[in-house]
Amino acid sequence: MSRVAIVTGGGRGIGAATARKLAADGLAVAVVDLDETTAGETADAIKQAGGTSIAVGADVSDSAQVTAAVERVAAELGPPTVLVNNAGVLRDNLLFKMSDDDWETVMGVHLRGAFLFSRTVQKHMVDAGWGRIVSLSSTSALGNRGQANYATAKAGLQGFTKTLAIELGRYGVTANAVAPGFIATDMTQATAARVGVDWDDFVKNAVSQIPVGRAGRPEDVANTVSFLVSEGAGFVSGQVIYVAGGPRA
């Protein structure tokens, strides 16, 4: 029987590419997204390619919705033993202009979301004696102007990951973080729009600072997640892998 994976924020960008890659690897994939329609588009693409997938609409920061989502996945696909905490939002602002809501929203989606999903799914992993948790951090964890909220959340996910690795290792569960640099997605396009820079110029400027000389693609991150989820990665745990075309973006 296929292993069952949950990818949060799988409707678009990195999450959608990761869901497609894990399905191509042979996993059954539950695509969770705030918007069930976009999740459905990813799930349909997976099914058209011959894979197994369902779409689940849920807000990762809402405890009751997370519980219901995991119960639905377990009932329809089987117990989930792979979790990719990918859902994310930006509310960038310089500290003096950052509102309470900018702070709470980012903490809610990235940190509370990863906490709620990991806490709910770990039971299935412990029961199975096997599991993989991968959370999306970012090079912004190292500090980034205008992102006090996001940098804090992404650094927090690294501490969260290392702690899960220590607590869950004895049950055959690994926990790792992937920290992308500049990846061309709706999220980075929204940043370009917010700062009023033409997208092509924004990409050109980012690429000028990336050692491998190109922008990241969602598939670059998906391939790294695929390795961490694989059977062969069972002795890799509590790590942060930067996927940034260099040591950091």
State the residues that interact with ligand NAP by CB under 6 A. 8-9, 11-15, 33-35, 38, 59-61, 86-89, 109, 136, 138, 180, 182-183, 185-188
CA angle 186, 56, 75 (to 5 degrees): 150
CB of 129 vs ligand NAP, minimal distance in Å: 29
In the complex, minimum distance from the CB of residue 28 to ligand NAP, in angstroms, rounded to a whole number: 20
Q: How many CA atoms lie within 13 A of 134 on its CB side?
A: 32
Closest-by-Cβ residue to ligand NAP is 13
Cα–Cα distances (Å) from 76 to 27, 28, 41, 178, 210, in that order, read 14, 10, 18, 28, 42
Q: Which is nearer to ligand NAP, 27 or 39 (CB)?
A: 39
Asked about 150 being catalytic, the answer comes back as yes
Q: In what order do the strands lie in the sheet with 53-57?
A: 53-57, 28-33, 4-8, 80-85, 131-136, 173-180, 240-243
Query: In whole angstroms, how close is the CB of 219 to ligand NAP at the nearest point?
Result: 12
Question: C-beta of 177: minimal distance to ligand NAP in Å?
Answer: 10
DSSP code per residue over 175-236: EEEEEE-SB-SHHHHHHHHHHT--HHHHHHHHHTT-TTSS-B-HHHHHHHHHHHHSGGGTT-
Q: Which of 103, 117, 150, 182 is catalytic?
A: 150
Comparing CB distances to ligand NAP, the nearer of 1 and 156 is 156
Q: Which is closer to ligand NAP, CB of 68 or CB of 128?
A: 68
Instruction: Specify the residue, 10 or 131, whose C-beta has the smaller distance to ligand NAP.
Output: 10
In terms of Cβ atoms closer than 10 Å to its own Cβ (0-12, 13-18, 19+), residue 41 is middle
Give the whole-angstrom CA distance, residue 200 versus residue 221: 21
Pick 126 or 197: Cβ nearer ligand NAP: 197
Classify burial at 97, counting beta carbons within 10 Å of its beta carbon; exposed 0-12, middle 13-18, buried 19 or more.
exposed
Q: How far is the CB of 51 from ligand NAP (least distance, A)?
A: 19
Catalytic positions: 150
